């Protein structure tokens, strides 16, 4: 039996405490570079550090954010006052975590399919990250929907890698966040997304079982069941909630303590609306929370634009989005909450 089981459970309890969710601040250099470029911000180690400090130092954010997924660069950086980011977050009552995968590449001989790299040296990286203060990890597998994709082989290959990642992390006391993302990109309808998501999740949990992963010691980070971004027919929040919950009930064991949805290309408002609709359905076997990146960060980044004179305005927008998604986690969000951001 894994001697770290009490530690894993303790970390999950902290992540789930209060009506809070996760901030995914683990963008790779390429991803954050594109987001900065859209807002005329130069992407350098210092601008990235300053921006992430803006988010983490927002007054009151600890009431709505329980954990932050960091990028490798960020976990080694410090605040402007010289405090390491993991230590700074812990002092605020926020649990630091870390993205440990190395990104996706094309799956050889399977055009359009992706595979995630990073298993080589993962155990040693996990040990180092834990020494730096991380208590949980995250690994993303990406599945696009299109003609003949995702292939059955790509689904199984990524499910194997996700389960191997989870097993390695649990072996050194880190909670793995297992993220199988069915992409919103494409013209597919919501029915196809539901079908693919169910297939992917069933394969992931099949391989987690083979690897003897302790299900009570993981968090699942799936996509919501949505129409493709380029499909003109958009499903209502009620239909998204119905199909998402049906898919989860068919695929995810009740032993899993929490499901933290990714926002995956939705607008900030759409992500909140859908999360609220999902949580209006009570008596689910899992805690249903959020692990958002763009849905929390887009508006603050647009307000900041790399200019520190805009810091307070950006933090107000970040706090507001966190508050709205905290309410959505409880199923109490309403459109009235969107009317006016709080004042710091």
pLDDT of residue 309: 97
pLDDT of residue 20: 97
How far is 325 from 332, CA to CA, in rounded Å? Answer: 10
pLDDT of residue 3: 84
Is 221 tagged catalytic? Answer: yes
DSSP-derived secondary structure for 3-46: TTHHHHHHHHHHHHSSS-EEEEE---HHHHHHHHHHTT----HH
pTM: 0.96
| Residue in 27, 53, 179, 198 annotated catalytic | 179
How far is 59 from 72, CA to CA, in rounded Å? Answer: 25
pLDDT of residue 341: 66
Tokens 């003949």 map to which residue? 148
Asked whether the beta carbons of 194 and 148 are under 8 A apart, the reply is: no
| Residue in 14, 99, 138, 221 annotated catalytic | 221
Provide the CA 221 distance to its chain's centre, in angstroms. Answer: 6
Q: Kindly report each contact of residues 304-307 with a partner whose C-beta sits within 8 Å and lies 24 or more positions away, as own/partner.
A: 304/39, 304/41, 304/51, 304/54, 305/39, 305/40, 305/41, 306/36, 306/39, 306/40, 306/41, 306/42, 306/47, 306/51
What is the tens place of the pLDDT at every residue in 311-326?
Answer: 999 999 999 999 999 9
273, burial (CB in 10 Å: exposed 0-12, middle 13-18, buried 19+): buried
* Residue 105, SS3 per DSSP: strand
Asked whether the beta carbons of 111 and 140 are under 8 A apart, the reply is: no
Domain boundaries, given as residue ranges, for the chain: 5-338
How far is 230 from 189, CA to CA, in rounded Å? Answer: 9
Tokens 């590449």 map to which residue? 105
pLDDT of residue 1: 57
What is the tens place of the pLDDT at every residue in 17-42?
Answer: 999 999 999 999 999 999 999 999 99
**Domain spanning 5-338, CATH class:** alpha beta
How far is 98 from 167, CA to CA, in rounded Å? Answer: 16
pLDDT of residue 4: 87
Low-confidence ranges of the chain (pLDDT < 50): none
Half-sphere exposure of 295 (CA within 13 A, CB side): 28
Is 14 tagged catalytic? Answer: no
Q: Cα angle at 329 between 324 and 332, to 5 degrees?
A: 65
How far is 253 from 249, CA to CA, in rounded Å? Answer: 8
How far is 32 from 165, CA to CA, in rounded Å? Answer: 24
């Amino acid at each position: 039996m894994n001697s770290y089981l009490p530690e894993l459970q303790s970390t999950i309890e902290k992540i789930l405490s209060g009506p809070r969710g996760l901030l995914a601040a683990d963008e790779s250099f390429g991803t954050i570079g594109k987001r900065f470029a859209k807002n005329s911000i130069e992407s350098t180690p210092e601008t990235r550090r300053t921006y992430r400090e803006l988010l983490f130092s927002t007054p009151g954010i600890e009431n709505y954010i329980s954990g932050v997924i960091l990028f490798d660069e960020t976990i080694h950086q410090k605040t402007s006052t010289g405090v390491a980011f993991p230590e700074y977050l812990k002092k605020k009552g926020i649990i630091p975590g870390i993205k440990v995968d190395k990104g996706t590449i094309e799956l050889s001989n399977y055009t359009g399919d992706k595979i995630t790299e990073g298993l080589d040296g993962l155990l040693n990286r996990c040990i180092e990250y834990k020494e730096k203060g991380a208590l949980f990890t995250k690994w993303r597998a990406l599945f696009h929907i299109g003609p003949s994709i995702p292939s059955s082989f790509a689904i199984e290959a990524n499910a194997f890698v996700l389960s191997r990642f989870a097993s390695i992390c649990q072996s050194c006391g880190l909670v793995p966040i297992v993220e199988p993302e069915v992409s919103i990109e494409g013209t597919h309808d919501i029915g196809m997304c539901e079908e693919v998501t169910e297939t992917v999740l069933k394969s992931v949990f099949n391989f987690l079982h083979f690897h003897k992963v302790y299900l009570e010691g993981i968090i699942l980070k799936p996509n919501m069941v949505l129409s493709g971004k380029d499909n003109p027919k958009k499903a209502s929040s009620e239909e998204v909630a119905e199909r998402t919950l049906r898919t989860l009930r068919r695929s995810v064991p009740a032993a899993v303590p929490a499901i933290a949805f990714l926002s995956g290309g939705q607008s900030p408002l759409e992500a909140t609306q859908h999360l609220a609709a999902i949580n209006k359905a009570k008596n689910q076997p899992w805690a249903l929370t959020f692990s958002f990146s763009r849905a929390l960060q887009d508006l603050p980044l647009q307000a900041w634009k790399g200019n520190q004179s805009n810091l307070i305005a950006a933090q107000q927008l970040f706090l507001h989005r966190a508050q709205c998604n905290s309410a959505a986690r409880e199923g109490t969000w309403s459109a009235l909450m969107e009317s006016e951001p709080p004042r710091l």
